[in-house]
Amino acid sequence: MPLADARAICPVLSTRPADPVGEGRALEALRRWASRYGPHAAKDGPDGLIVDVSGVAHLFGGETDLLEDISARLERAGLASNSAIAETRGAAWALARRGGGVIPEGGLLASLGPMPVNALRIGPEVAEGLTRLGLHRIVDLTSVPRAPLARRFGADILRRLDQALGAQAEPVAAEPDPPQFGVRMTLPEPIGLTADVMGILDRLLVRLCDKLASAQMGARAVRLELRRVDRSAAVVEVGLARAMRDPVRISALFRKGVDEVDAGFGIDGMRLGASVTEPLAPEQLKDVQIGNGKARQEDELADLISRIGNRLGFEAVQRFLPANSRIPERGFLTVPAAYAAPEPFPSRRRPRRPITIFPPEPLTGVSGNPPSRFSWRRMGFTTLCAHGPERITPEWWFDDPAWRSGVRDYWRVETGEGPRLWLFRTPQAASGFGDWYVQGVFL
């Protein structure tokens, strides 16, 4: 029924757009929860879960009690559900969608037989074709010759039939859980000394880095949680300038943070996790004697950036990248060095650019055009010669407040006092003649 018709019938209808991604995420969360009922839990289509409960049911007091437990827990969470237990996956699928319950062992054909053929996980057009032939129930399919059936409707229908009746095995293919990079340790006695905490941390780090190495990942941020005896917790987080999994180097970064933590009545549990990870390919073994000089240098540089970044913030350590713009302030990008590789700047010597740049500062006491005499930063200057003008127009597609005054005419002015300055004026500015600014100093 189209939405407009539904609204016409029931004006107070509340509707929401479907969110398949969100639903998938919710189902994934349910799948993780469902693994409490069996070692293999997998998603089954967009609306189902399948759990292999072979040999598990007695832990919950029997199969019927297990189903009751599932529905009770889901109901408490606000979810309506149907569940069934059967010898085969196909039978459980069919029964869960037709009321649920338990099919006792050996009762597959008796329970499934009276069901319509579309309980077999086949397409609607196949089911319709079977109905047209007079094969309404599953039990009808078992009595007709198989070969003509396969020729007419494809081998799929026989496979589904065999899977439902147990003639063909169908395992629960549970996808592997994504690796979780967290380790913890609970201590029999509370500890409080920095050296003790660092000792435990080193042990945890070895385990964490082993986990990372087996998944070929590297940590970008590591979080340490220290649980005190009174159930409060202190958190120490360090960032890393690049993905790594070297326990010794990560441990060195934690020293300052751990030193500042107040142990309170003592710490009796620690939890360490890599909160941000990145893929990191296995590294070639470095020969300590010969020394892989370049790689070691890069490691030490990354450690230095990590140390600075953890004190000043990672955005404080910057690197310049080229950008394509004629505007002097936007001719380069300033990015955190930890998140960008260096890029070569195009070698361009003309037009000349100043080596130092700052936000425009107005000149005072200007006479002449271009100025022959002016003062800047409380110093008087006389012009020896001036080169220019070089006209730079603002980029209209960016609204930059500094460039609202319009085009600028830049001059390179050599002064008798020595400094070579980058001056500009805005020709169309309202105040007209005296509007001179300095924006940079040349070599």
Partner 1 sequence: MRILRERSPVVGDDPFQLLKGRVHEAQGRGRVAFALLQAARSTGPIFWIVRTHDRDRPMPCALPDGVVERLHFVEARNETDLLWTVEECLRAAPVALVIAAPEKTISLTAGRRLQLAAEAGGTTGLMLIQEGRGSNAAETRWSCNPLPGPQDSTRHRWCNNKNKKGTLGTHDVSWNGATAAVHLVTQAGERHQPEKPPG
Binding site residues, partner 1, CB under 8 A: 297-298, 300-301, 303-305, 307-308, 311-312, 316-320, 322, 328, 331-332, 334, 337, 342-345, 347-349, 352-359, 384-385, 414-420, 440-443
Q: How far is the CB of 289 from partner 1 (least distance, A)?
A: 18
Q: Which is nearer to partner 1, 183 or 305 (CB)?
A: 305
**How many other CB atoms are there within 10 angstroms of residue 178's CB atom?**
8
Q: Which is nearer to partner 1, 184 or 296 (CB)?
A: 296
CA 84 to chain centre: 36
Pairing label, strands 182-191, 101-102: unpaired
Q: How far is the CB of 268 from partner 1 (least distance, A)?
A: 34
Cβ-count burial 263-276 (b if 16+ within 10 Å, e if not) = beeebbbbbbbbee
Q: Which is nearer to partner 1, 278 or 300 (CB)?
A: 300
Q: How far is the CB of 220 from partner 1 (least distance, A)?
A: 19
CB 394 within 8 Å of CB 407: yes
Q: Which is nearer to partner 1, 155 or 301 (CB)?
A: 301
Q: How far is the CB of 253 from partner 1 (least distance, A)?
A: 12
Q: How far is the CB of 333 from partner 1 (least distance, A)?
A: 9
Q: How far is the CB of 355 from partner 1 (least distance, A)?
A: 5
Six-digit token pair at 73? 């827990």
Angle (nearest 5°) at CA 323 between 321 and 328? 105
Q: Which is nearer to partner 1, 15 or 289 (CB)?
A: 289
Q: Which is nearer to partner 1, 75 or 300 (CB)?
A: 300
Q: How far is the CB of 439 from partner 1 (least distance, A)?
A: 10
CA 203 – CA 197 distance, rounded (Å): 10
194's CB contacts (< 8 A; 6+ apart) are: 255, 258, 259
3-state secondary structure of 201: helix
Question: What values do phi and psi take at 308, rounded to 5?
Answer: -65, -45
Q: How far is the CB of 43 from partner 1 (least distance, A)?
A: 47
Q: Which is nearer to partner 1, 87 or 299 (CB)?
A: 299
CA 268 – CA 228 distance, rounded (Å): 6
Q: Which is nearer to partner 1, 80 or 290 (CB)?
A: 290
Question: What values do phi and psi take at 273, rounded to 5?
Answer: -145, 150
Locate all alpha helices (DSSP H) within 84-193, ordered by sequence: 89-96, 108-112, 124-132, 138-143, 146-153, 155-165
CA 316 – CA 420 distance, rounded (Å): 30
